[in-house]
Chains A and B, each alone.
Chain A
Amino acid sequence: MTTIRQLSIFLENKSGRLQEVLEALGNEKINITALTIADTSEYGILRLIVSDPENGYKLLKNRGFSVNLTDVLSLSVSHEAGSLAKVLKKFSEEKLSVEYMYAFSLGEKAVIVLRTDNRPKAFEIIERNNFTLISEDEIKNL
């Protein structure tokens, strides 16, 4: 069973900070596969799937960002109507607690990223339902 590493970055809600993150990564040729921001009225957490999470982490940390390398699960589903819903339905039926989740499409595939604090249970559901987990290398090559 495999997880992928996601960059999580703490951002205050003020202009220009997101831009700085993206430029810092761009300058080092680190590609961004997926980006999502969740925010409250005062701050946000930017979540990124990138081509080189380890160097991305070091780079942002050196730039003074509050950053965290988070293990998340990544599943691929076929990019057709209803397939995403099918996966989510299983997780909710099994009452897996999901901290957050987002999805994006990559060519033929749709990719779900999710964070749970009960990883063994997640793995069990994935195995039982023949869902496809993807690794960091696979994301890079998709």
Chain B
Amino acid sequence: MYAAAQNHHHQMNRYWEEELETMSRPALEKLQLERLKTTFAYAARSPYYKQLFGKLNLTVDSFGHIDDIRKIPFTTKEDLRANYPYGLVALPLQESVRLHSSSGTTGNPTVIFHSQHDLDSWSNLVARCLYSVGVRDTDVFQNTSGYGMFTGGLGFQYGAERLGCLTIPAAAGNSRRQIKFMQDFGTTTVHAIPSYAIRLADVFEEMGLDPHRDTRLKTLVIGAEPHTEEQRRRIEELLGVRAFNSFGMSEMSGPGVAFECEYQTGLHLWEDAFYLEIIHPDTLEPLPDGEIGELVLTSLDRRAMPILRYRTRDLTRILPGDCPCRRVHRRIDRVKGRTDDMFIIKGCNIFPMQIEKILLQTPEVGNNYMITLDTVDHSDEMLIEVELKDLFTDDYGRLENLAKSLRHRIRDEVLVAPRIKLAESGSLPQSEGKAVRVRDLRNNK
């Protein structure tokens, strides 16, 4: 069934599934339409979608072109929670072979059911991702992801096995043991969240080891945690690897939704398996390529629990233009934040990540910041507090120039000029974790 089965024996080809990866766009859209119809037919068997489609008089015949997908309403995280646990399950339960669940901090968790077909399809996509960055069956793949319910564990495990790698389910934690595995088994490829990759570099140093010299590491797969281009470069330098961005979410199975190719210019989203839309988070209208909005995904190859037009709450954009690798699948930018983080001031949509990016390029200031929106003299004002990393001068003029330069560069990025306030180092909430970065004190929010 899978072209991959042949690749398995001679992994010389550049593509895991050449036809599916390099077909023309019209051919891809035709495939998407076919798969949408199949997905629709499965979804219509679930209590939730059955009722919804019935209300809207939607049938398989409603879809003559892939754009007709817009006839289907969005599905939200709240819909998944409200229909917990079986409301979106489309196959008799005996055909499900696994479930994954993401912990909800409030209310019901979201649970995703998988049939054997779904797991095969998912593993194949993860294998395709790894293959696209040069991982082959001769590689040794070590997964430092948590296993259990977290999809980064089993998702990569099955994907790397599918590709044919010797796969080490090292799971999370115990850094010294991780490093011992890397040395003893000649690990070449590691999957880790970015902060853990940096932590590993520290532990190498504590152990008196140099990853460049003392390991065979060459590829790192990083994801599941927001990070910047600067952090990626740092990981590459520290560990002597090339690091590739991975994107996925449990609602769309897990990892294997989008992945960077060898050119590291954005993440190819596998459009044969997912239908991709970027919408304005307020108007819900589709946005042109290049504009940042909310990512909406439809699973096109899942049977136990298809999810249609799922509002992911992740903010990203479609990168215009073609990739030198010739894959037809369009690229998305690394996630710019969550719709929950976005704010609007003076008519401009602003994401904290945009401001963070400028700060990271400014060596005089740290990475912590606080944005306060307030009404001053009947007009909205954005105040940004940043920490002075070191007092690089004791001259006021130069401190004022630093503030002025930040003000201009942020204005160029987000189109609203902020007021900059310099703060002592360590005085603002830490940049890691889920610190509150935006305070809105305006009269009419």
B397's nearest neighbour on chain A, judged by CB, is A99
The residue from A12, A38, A40, A68 contacting B391, defined by CB atoms under 8 A apart: A68
Residues in B with CB closer than 8 Å to A12 are: 423-424, 427
Residues in B with CB closer than 8 Å to A9 are: 391
Mark interface residues in A40-66 (1 if CB within 8 Å of B CB, else 0): 101101010000000000000000111
A113: CB under 8 A from chain B?
A: no
A residues 5-48 with Cβ under 8 Å of B? 6, 8-12, 17, 38, 40, 42-43, 45, 47
Residues in A with CB closer than 8 Å to B399 are: 43
B residues 244-287 with Cβ under 8 Å of A? none
Mark interface residues in A51-89 (1 if CB within 8 Å of B CB, else 0): 000000000000011111010000000000000000000
Residues in B with CB closer than 8 Å to A8 are: 391, 394
A65's nearest neighbour on chain B, judged by CB, is B424
Contact B391 A66 (CB under 8 A): yes
B2: CB under 8 A from chain A?
A: no
Indicate the size class of the contact surface on chain A.
20 to 34
The residue from B397, B421, B424 contacting A10, defined by CB atoms under 8 A apart: B424
The residue from B394, B397, B422, B426 contacting A68, defined by CB atoms under 8 A apart: B394
Contact A42 B422 (CB under 8 A): yes
Contact A40 B396 (CB under 8 A): yes
Residues in A with CB closer than 8 Å to B393 are: 68
- Given A11-B424, A12-B423; A99-B395 close (CB under 8 Å): yes
Contact B389 A66 (CB under 8 A): yes
Docked pose: A56 CA to B421 CA in angstroms: 27
Contact B424 A66 (CB under 8 A): yes
The residue from B387, B391, B421, B425 contacting A42, defined by CB atoms under 8 A apart: B421
Residues in A with CB closer than 8 Å to B427 are: 12
Residues in B with CB closer than 8 Å to A38 are: 396
Residues in B with CB closer than 8 Å to A70 are: 394
Docked pose: A70 CA to B391 CA in angstroms: 10
Residues in B with CB closer than 8 Å to A11 are: 424
Contact B394 A45 (CB under 8 A): yes
Residues in A with CB closer than 8 Å to B422 are: 10, 42-43
A residues 66-125 with Cβ under 8 Å of B? 66-68, 70, 99, 115
B214: CB under 8 A from chain A?
A: no
Residues in A with CB closer than 8 Å to B396 are: 38, 40, 45
Contact A10 B395 (CB under 8 A): no
Residues in B with CB closer than 8 Å to A45 are: 391, 394, 396
Docked pose: A70 CA to B392 CA in angstroms: 10
Docked pose: A66 CA to B422 CA in angstroms: 11
Residues in A with CB closer than 8 Å to B389 are: 66
Residues in B with CB closer than 8 Å to A47 are: 394
A47's nearest neighbour on chain B, judged by CB, is B394
- Given A42-B421, A45-B396; A64-B391 close (CB under 8 Å): no
B229: CB under 8 A from chain A?
A: no
Docked pose: A68 CA to B421 CA in angstroms: 19
Docked pose: A10 CA to B365 CA in angstroms: 13
Residues in chain B within 8 A of chain A (CB atoms): 387-397, 399, 421-427
- Pairs across A and B, CB under 8 Å, 13 listed: A8-B394, A10-B388, A10-B424, A47-B394, A64-B426, A66-B389, A66-B425, A67-B390, A67-B391, A68-B390, A99-B395, A99-B397, A115-B395
Seed contacts A45-B394, A65-B424; 20 additional CB < 8 Å A-B pairs: A8-B391, A8-B394, A9-B391, A10-B388, A10-B391, A10-B424, A11-B424, A17-B424, A43-B399, A43-B422, A45-B391, A45-B396, A65-B425, A66-B389, A66-B391, A66-B425, A67-B390, A68-B393, A68-B394, A115-B394
